[in-house]
Chain A
Amino acid sequence: MENILTQTTARPQATTEAARAAASQPVIQLRDIEKVYQTKTIETVALNRVNLTINKGEFVSIMGPSGCGKSTLLSIMGLLDEPTGGTIALDGRPVQSYSDKELASLRNHKIGFVFQSYHLINDLSVLDNVELPLLYRPGVGGKERRERAYAALEKVGLGARTNHFPSQLSGGQRQRVAIARALAGRPEIILADEPTGNLDSVMGEEIMDLLLGLNRQEGTTIVMVTHDEQQALKTQRLIRFFDGSQVS
C-alpha cells in the first residue's frame, strides 16, 4: 500500500498533471455568503458577503485572527451550517433547496472533514472510526468497508494500529486516524479546520505533509483553516479573513 506520508517527504514539491489540468474547474462556489447570528439584543455578523471559488485539485488555506469567521465559512462550505444569505454551489449545482437527506448524502460522497480536536468516537476502535463514512453509504457491505478502512489507515501509516482505541494514541496519531476517516469515503474535497492546531510542530509537520501528499498525488481538493503562516505558505492559495470579510 502506498504511504503518502513517506512519499511526500521524498518529493515535497511534486504536482500531478491531473491536478493541474483540473485546476480551473470550480468545485465549491460561494456567492455573497452572509452569516448573521441574531439574539434578542445583539446581531453578530460572522460572514459578510463572501465570494469565493475553490477549484478542483486546489489546496487553499484560510487564515485570520480568532473569531473572524474562518471556521463558520468552512462549516458552510461543508454543508454543516446554513448561511443567512447568498448561495453555495457544489460542482456547479446550487444546494440551498436540498433536503436534509440530500445534504447528508452529498456530505457523505463528496466531503471529508478533519477537525482540530479530531472528534474521534472514543468508544470505537481505530478501524471502526475510519469505517464511519462508509456506514452511511448505501451498497457498501461490511467486507468492502473493512478493506477500504484498512487501505485508508495504511495510507496514513497506521496500518498496525487498527484495533487500538483513540485514547491509546498520541495526538498526531489521532489526527492521522481522523484523516484516514476523511479519506475512507474517497471524497473529492477535504475540509480541514486547524488540523495541526492541537499538535506540536513536529507532529504538525507530519500532518501537513500528509495533506500535501494527498493533494499532489491524488488531486484531492483541500481547504484548510490554519493559524500557522508557515504551513499556509505551503499551500497553493492563501486567503486572509478579517471581521467576516475576505481581505486577500
Chain B
Amino acid sequence: MLLSYLKIAWKVLLRRKFFTFISLFGISFTLMILLVVYAFYDHTVGPHTPEKKVDRLLFVNRATVSYKEGNGSNNGTISYSFLERYVRPLRTPEKISISTYFSSTAAYVGNQKLDVDLKYTDGQFWQVLDFDFVEGRPYTLSEVQSGAHVAVLNERTCRAYFGATSGVLGKTIETDRVRYQVIGVVKDVPGMRFNSYADMWVPISTSTQDAKDPGYFGDCMAIIQARTPADLPAVQAEFSRVVDQVPVPDPKKHAKVHVYAGTLLSSTVRWFNNNSKPDDGVAALMGKVALVTLLFMLLPALNLINVNVSRILERSSEIGVRKAFGATSGTLIRQFLVENVFLTLLGGVLGLVLASVVLHIIDSSGFIPYTTLTLNPRIFAGGLLLSLLFGVLSGVYPAYKMSKLQAVQALKGGRN
C-alpha cells in the first residue's frame, strides 16, 4: 500500500512540474534559512570547543550600579579586583577562572603588521575550558603566579607569524613590544565565542593593568564551573547572595550593584541586549523566535495547502474511483498525508543541501573570524523534524477537504 502511495506521489510531482518546483522551492528555502539560523545559534551557544562543558558553566560578564534617583545606572565589564574579591571565594563551584576580554595588539612579521587579539587569563582558564591543542600545553597555575612570559597561540597566528603551525614551541613572539615564549598551539576558536576567543592567550599576571584597582569596572570576566549541571542553581543562589552583600561604591548616589552569573545562552543574550535586569530575557527572546519561526513556516505551508487543494480537485476522479472500490475517508487521508510528507521530506533534503552550501560559503568568506558552521547531526535531525511538521501542517486541511468529497461528486467532476 505504501509503495503504491509513493508511486502516485512521485507521478503527481512529475505531472505538474512548475507547481512542484514552487512547492519544493518554498519548503527548501524556508528550511535552509531556519537551518542556517539554527547553525548560528548552535555555533554561538552550543556545546562546542572550547566550551564543551557548557551545561556546567556560568559566565559573569557585566556589572551594573544603579542610581538612587531616576532610572540611571552605570553599566560595564568588571574589574579584576571585584571578581577576585567577590567571585573567586565562592564555595559551591568546582572551579573559577578570571580573564580579560580580548584586546587588539600588533605584532610584526618583517615590516608586515599582524593584528593579534590578546587575552590575559589565569591558569584555571585552561581547566574550565577544553581547547584542542595542536602541540604543546597550556600554562600552569604556578607560571601564572610567577608572571612567566609564556603564550598559547592559535593556528592562524602561528602560521602567520612563524610560517608553520608546528615546531614552534620555545620560539618567541613579540606583540605590543612584549616578548612571550610559545608553549602551546591550539585550533582556532570562532569569534562568536567571545568568552574564550583570542589569537593569543597569556598569563593575566603579565598584564600591565593594576590588578589592585578597587573600582568595580574593568575589562575582566569570570567563568564558573559547577560540579554537575544540577549544581548550577545552587551556584547561582550563592552568587546572588554574595552580590546582594556587595557595598555600593557611593552610598549617597548608588542604590545597588547588579551582577549575574548566567549560562552561555543567558549571558550572551544579556550581553547583546546590554541588559542589567534580573530577567535575562531568554524566555522572551525564545518566544519571539518561536513566533517568527512559525510565521516563517506558515507562508510556504499556506502555499502548499493552496497547491494541494487545487491538486485535489484535479484528482477528484482518482478519489472517486478509490472510494468506489472500497477506500474509506481515513485511508484516503492517510494516502494524502503520506504523499505530502514525501514531498516535504524531499524539500527537506533539498533544504539541507542548500543550507550546507550556504554555510560553506559563510565559512569560507571569513565574514566572522574562524567560523566553522556545519550541519551537525542535531541540526540534521531538527531539519527532518521541521520537514515532517511541514508535511503534516500543510496536508491536514487538504486531506480533510478531500475526504469530505462524495464519491459520486468526485466521479462526476473527474476526468478520465
- A128 to chain B: which residues have CB within 8 Å? 4, 7
A118 to B327, CA, bound (A): 18
The total of interchain contacts (Cβ-Cβ below 8 angstroms) comes to 81
The answer to whether B326 touches A107, judged by C-beta atoms less than 8 angstroms apart, is yes
Bound CA span A131–B321, Å: 12
| B28-36, B90-98, B176-184, B404-412 - interface stretch | B404-412
- Among B8, B324, B330, residue most surrounded by chain A Cβ atoms (within 10 Å): B324
By beta carbon, the residue of chain B nearest A121 is B318
Is there contact, CB below 8 Å, between B326 and A120? no
Task: Kindly identify, within residues 1 to 38 of chain B, every residue whose CB is under 8 Å from any CB belonging to chain A.
Answer: 1, 4, 7-8, 11-12, 15
Pairwise interchain contact A124-B408, C-beta atoms closer than 8 A: no
Q: Which of chain A's residues has its CB closest to B330's CB?
A: A101
CB proximity of A117 to chain B, nearest CB, Å: 4
In the complex, the answer to whether A118 meets B416 with C-beta atoms within 8 Å is yes
Q: How far is the CA of A137 from the CA of B325 in the complex (A)?
A: 10
Q: Which of A109, A123, A174 contacts B15 (CB 8 A)?
A: A123
Q: Is the CB of B411 within 8 A of A80?
A: yes
Q: How far is the CB of A170 from chain B (nearest CB, A)?
A: 13
Given A117-B415, A123-B15, CB of A78 within 8 Å of CB of B324: yes
Contact flag A108-B325 (CB < 8 Å), given A80-B407, A80-B411, A118-B416: yes
Query: A100 near B326 (CB under 8 angstroms)?
Result: no
- Report whether B408 and A80 are in contact in the complex, using a CB–CB cutoff of 8 Å: yes
User: Interface size (A, Cβ < 8 Å)?
Assistant: 33
Within 138-187 of A, Cβ neighbours of B (below 8 Å) are at 166, 174, 181, 185
Query: When A117-B416, A121-B8 are in contact, do A181 and B325 touch as well, CB less than 8 Å?
Result: yes
A45-84 interface mask toward B, CB cutoff 8 Å, 1 = contact, 0 = none?
0000000000000000000000000000001001011000
Given contacts A80-B407, A128-B4, A105 and B321 within 8 Å (CB-CB): no
* Chain A residues with CB below 8 A from B321, complex form: 113, 119-121, 132
Give chain B residues whose Cβ lies under 8 Å from the Cβ of A137.
326
Closest B residue, CB atoms, query A120: B416
Size range of the chain B interface in the assembly: 20 to 34
Residues of B within 8 A of A100 (CB): 328-329
B408 with A75: CB separation less than 8 A: yes
Q: Which of A78, A81, A119, A124 makes the CB contact (< 8 A) with B7?
A: A124
Q: Is B119 an interface residue (CB 8 A)?
A: no
Check if A133 is an interface residue, CB within 8 A of chain B: yes
Interface pair A108/B12, CB less than 8 Å apart: no
Q: A112 vs B321: C-alpha distance in the bound complex, in angstroms?
A: 11
Known A-B contacts A101-B328, A132-B321, A136-B327; A123 and B4 likewise in contact (beta carbons under 8 Å): no
Query: Quick one: closest A residue to B10, CB to CB?
Result: A123
Residues of B within 8 Å of A105, CB to CB, are 326
B233: min CB distance to chain A, Å: 54
Given A123-B11, A123-B12, A124-B7, A132 and B411 contact (CB-CB distance below 8 Å): no
Contact status A113-B326, CB under 8 Å: no
Other-chain contact of A80, B11, B324, B416 (Cβ < 8 Å) = B324
Residues of chain B contacted by A185 (CB below 8 angstroms): 325-326
> If A81-B408, A124-B8, A135-B4 touch, does A119 touch B326 (CB 8 Å cutoff)?
no
**Cα–Cα, bound, A81→B406 (Å):** 8
- B138 contacts the other chain (CB 8 A): no
Q: Once the chains are docked, how many angstroms separate the CA of A174 from the CA of B416? A: 10
Would you call A36 an interface residue if the criterion is a C-beta within 8 Å of the partner chain's C-beta atoms?
no
- Is the CB–CB distance between A132 and B416 below 8 Å? no
* B322 within 8 A of partner (CB): yes
Contact of B416 among A107, A108, A109, A119 (CB under 8 A): A119
Q: Of residues 141 to 155 in B, which have CB atoms within 8 Å of A's CB atoms?
A: none
Q: Give 12 pairs: A residue, B residue, CB < 8 Å, sorted on A.
A: A80-B320, A105-B326, A113-B321, A115-B411, A117-B416, A118-B416, A123-B11, A136-B326, A136-B327, A137-B326, A166-B416, A181-B325
Q: Which 3 A-B pairs have the closest CB atoms?
A: A108-B326, A123-B11, A136-B326
Residues of A within 8 A of B (CB): 75, 78, 80-81, 100-101, 104-105, 107-109, 112-113, 115, 117-124, 128, 131-133, 135-137, 166, 174, 181, 185
Known contacts A115-B411, A132-B321, A136-B327, then 10 further A-B pairs from the complex at CB < 8 Å, ordered by chain A residue = A80-B406, A80-B408, A101-B328, A104-B328, A105-B326, A107-B324, A113-B321, A119-B416, A124-B7, A135-B4
